[in-house]
Structure 1
Amino acid sequence: MSKKTKTTAIVLMFIILISKTTGFFRDIILAKTFGAGKITDAYLTALNIPVVLFDGISAALGTTFIPIYFKIKSSKGQDEVNKFTSNILNIVIIISLVFVSLGIIFAPYIVKIFAVGFKGDVFDLTVNYSKILIFSIIFIAINGLISSYLVASGNVYISGAITIPFNILVIIAIIFASMTESYTMVYGTLIAYIAQLLFQLPLLIKKGYKHRLIVNIKDENIRQILFLIIPVFLGSYINQINAVVNRTLSSTLDSGSITALNYANKLNMFAVGVIAVAISTIMYPILSKLASEGNKKLFKINLSKSINMIIIIMLPIMVIMTTFSTEIVKVLFEEGAFNSHDTYLTSTALFFYSTGILAYGLK
């Protein structure tokens, strides 16, 4: 790993740290405002539905897009890259619109799958929230693809920076919701997704991207990305299926169980997000380029160094998180509407989540 790469990794870790910190502050504000109860359970479930339905597809697209980006650029030039990007972006928008339409029509049935134990007011509230937040699928899809384009173009910092405006706007929405009604928070979250797109557009234009209204599913590059996306999609969806199972089982338990699991998972993913994501974001384009050039020796060296760095940093973090799970949750969340029982639920989940930090980071 060169000096320039190490410097880039450190800067990206700092950006991701800011992103994760604002995300934590968002969760803390949510916990102190609404505690761990019906509103937070309904909101977090509704927020999770579009992520599960489309984030796996978006992540798989982003992963497979970058190698094809370099292949097209090296053989045909940047103009063909922009043409390919426009084509796949248009196709993704059409698919996401179909998902949104189906999500609105079948919202009650989808909520029953995601939260089988929800009944009465909390079920109705989750359905209503879901019909609003389902529109975020469109922006999850667009933002993921644009981020991959920018990363491949050399702007590796965008992957960490994109969630900062999202978190800030959601925090503002939660504060206003505490003074008005919970729907303010839901609509504010949808606006935050739109803000992520607006945040990236100037950077996209600066890179010389010009969008074209073309849809060509017969393009050989589209066929190739569909071929590559299947194993990546299945791999990424394992985490989504796991999250659905967790939340579905939690919905049958006491009120606030889904919220406790969510906060525990966010704490657990903090270290993974700052360290592992930063390193993988930096190294993936480099490794993709080396693979396309057939430089196996340098590929193995860079991969080995990245793995060693993750192990050295994340092993002590795992020990700290498992040992002091209760203390961490108490300091961060226990105040206002978030009580000692909520701390017990969250810290118990955090302990078991934290045992897999190292394995998740290496994944």
Structure 2
Amino acid sequence: MNSAKKMAKTTTILMIITLVSKVFGFVRETVIARYFGAGMEADAYFMALGIPNLIFASIGASISTTFIPLYTQLMNVDGKKAANTFASNLLNIISIICCFLLILGIIFSPNLVNLLAPGFSGAKYDLTVVITRILFIGAIFNMISAVLTGILQSNESFLGPALVGFPYNIAVILGCIFFTRYYGVYALTIATLIGTMGQALIQLFFIKGKYSYNRVLDFKDPYVKRLVFLIIPVLIGTAIGQINTVVDKALASSLEQGSVSAINYSSRLTGFVQGIFVSSVITVIYPFFSQLCAKDDYDDLNKYISGSINIFTMIMLPITIITILYSRDIVSIVFERGEFVKKDVELTAFSLVFLSLGFLPFAIREVFNKAFYALQDTRTPMINGTIAVLVNITVDFLLVKHLNVGGLSLATSLSFLASVICFLISWKRTMRCSIGEIVDLKGLGKLIITAILFFIVIWIFNKKGVHLFLSVILGGIIYICILWLFGARELKVAYSYISKKFSNRK
């Protein structure tokens, strides 16, 4: 199987797994709401859950991101044994550091709760401190899981990392259902801790035969030093990115009631799409990028970038069109019940329309992010991310008076577009290549024309009152047929893989 077919196969599997995992995530949230509502225990749990995550989540993601190109480089230059020694050394160092941070977290949990939840007092404050201390234990497993994810993905094994959501969701759901009546919120807390441990353990099952642990501890390892050097810009970029959220919510708080919630709910919907489609593809292509960089094969790297942009264009444009034309239906189906009334639907749908414009730019931005990380260049993404944040904040202030919550959402989408432009310029300068070597203009032209025809079809369906689900099915069939007539290479690769699988089963 060639690389393109292998990527198509792996990406399809990951999309399906991610979709099921996301559904389980919604079930988890529903179960928690069923047993704890929005009372004191729920407030204490969610606040306590966020405190360790605030400290460790971005660090873990940064480790996984920067680890893959270094591990891949070592495998190609010095062999798998050297790469596994580096991974073992990093695991040991992280475990020691996490144990130290765990002790500090347990000691200073009261101070952290005071700082991040200044409005909590009395029993609510005490409960939050206790839960925070328990959940700090899970931080060790989160960090270990990040390294294991990097090892597996570097070895082109994606199933283990894709399944990490299942033990977490299942543990929380079962903990609530069977033990809440006896232990209250502590059942939910322990279930969360068990689920976090399960995320690391499930990857240990898949890592057999791909990695062998070594007892080594070397803080002076040049690759560890290099990883620390690479992580710093990633962490800075992540911190800068948080400013967007802070500014958006601050400006939304001055608008009509429900604006902050509208942004949150519409962001949850866009996050659902990005998690299924963008994350699945990015997870697969990043190790390929790292392998090509390790071999200095930059011509093929440009081809993979071009192909990835086409894949995302083919996927995200029809999703954007459906979201824009059926935004009210989507929000109503997902959220309209109980206290979430028609007015809230309208406000959230208005925000969703403008956020959906950022689907494709967000995806392309992630492609270039990973391409630069594969080059072990974390400084360029940090700089481009900073520019995007400045664009977002500037446009926020320019549009909020005219479009209200829609202006804030549009600013976010435009910041993604600004980031893509910056990345194109940066990549062209770094690779000393033309735009035509990065972007398949002919292929993109076909995809854009197909999307325009798809828009006309869905617009007619919408005006005729065709239901959302029927529009998606009929429109999807028409879209695929047009792509096939136009000879879209990405669609033919997928068809070749599917037809081959069915023929093998006969």
TM-score bucket of the superposed structures, by smaller chain: 0.7 to 0.9
Give the equivalent residue in structure 2 for 1:189.
Answer: 192
Deviations 1:134-187 (A, max 9, x none): 111101100111011011112022221111121111111222354231110011
Distance across 1 between alignment mates of 2:328 and 2:46? 22
| Contact 1:170/1:189, CA 8 A, preserved across alignment | yes
For structure 1, the residue ranges without an aligned partner over 5 or more in a row are none
TM-score calculated relative to the size of structure 2:
0.63
Higher relative contact order (CA 8 A, sep 6+): 1
Instruction: Give the counterpart letter for 2:140 in structure 1.
Output: I
Q: Does the CA contact (< 8 Å) of 1:17 and 1:274 recur in 2? A: yes
Q: Is 1:132 the counterpart of 2:114 in the alignment?
A: no
Q: 1:278 aligns with which of 252, 259, 280?
A: 280
Structure 1 stretch 2-11 or stretch 187-196: which is displaced more?
Answer: 2-11
48 and 317 in structure 1: CA distance in 2 versus 1, 3 angstrom threshold: farther
Greater shift, 63-72 or 117-126, is seen at: 117-126
CA distance in 1, matches of 2:31, 2:280: 26
Q: Which moved more, 1:79-88 or 1:113-122?
A: 113-122
**Structure 2: 5+ residue stretches without partners:** 367-506
Q: How far off is 1:262 after superposition?
A: 6.8
Q: CA deviation at 1:353?
A: 6.1
Matches within 5 A, 1:244-255: none
1:122 corresponds to: 124
Partner of residue 154 from structure 2, selected from 152, 159, 177: 152
Query: Partner letter of residue 152 of structure 1?
Result: S
Provide the identity percentage: 37
Q: Which amino acid aligns with 1:128?
A: V
For residues 217 and 156 of structure 1, the distance between their equivalents in structure 2, rounded to whole angstroms, comes to 29
Between stretches 4-13 and 238-247, larger displacement belongs to 238-247
- 1:301 offset after TM fit, Å? 1.6
Whole-angstrom distance in 1 between the partners of 2:362 and 2:119: 29
SS at match of 1:340: coil
Task: Say how many residue pairs are matched.
Answer: 356
SS of residue matched to 2:207: helix
- Aligned AA (1:53): I
* 2:63 alignment counterpart: 61
| Contact 2:263 2:348 survives alignment (8 Å) | no
Greater alpha carbon shift after TM alignment, 341-350 vs 267-276: 341-350
CA displacement at 1:92 relative to structure 2: 0.8
- The answer to whether the Cα contact below 8 Å between 2:164 and 2:198 also exists between their aligned partners in 1 is no
* TM-score using structure 1 length: 0.85
Contact persistence 1:28–1:333 (CA under 8 A) = no
RMSD after superposition? 3.3
The yes-or-no answer on 1:99 pairing with 2:121 is no
Amino acid corresponding to residue 188 of structure 2 in structure 1: M
1:205 deviation in Å?
2.4
CA separation of 1:236 and 1:170: change in aligned 2, threshold 3 A = same
Deviation at 1:128, TM superposition (A): 2.2
Deviations 1:302-337 (A, max 9, x none): 1122123224423443455566666545544666xx
Query: Which one of 292, 295, 316 corresponds to residue 294 of structure 2?
Result: 292
How far has the Cα of 1:232 moved from its partner?
A: 2.0
Among 254, 269, 272, which residue is 2:271 paired with? 269
Q: Distance in 1 between matches of 2:158 and 2:232?
A: 25
Classify the secondary structure of the residue corresponding to 2:269.
helix
Q: Residue 316 of structure 2 contacts residue 359 of structure 2 at CA under 8 Å; is this kept in 1?
A: yes
Deviations 1:247-284 (A, max 9, x none): 99999xxxx99999876654331111111111111100
* CA distance 1:49–1:240, change in 2 (3 Å): farther
Q: Is the 8 A contact 1:66 1:148 kept in 2?
A: yes
Provide Cα deviations, 1:106-149, integer angstroms capped at 9, x if missing partner: 11221233334434443333222211111111011001110110
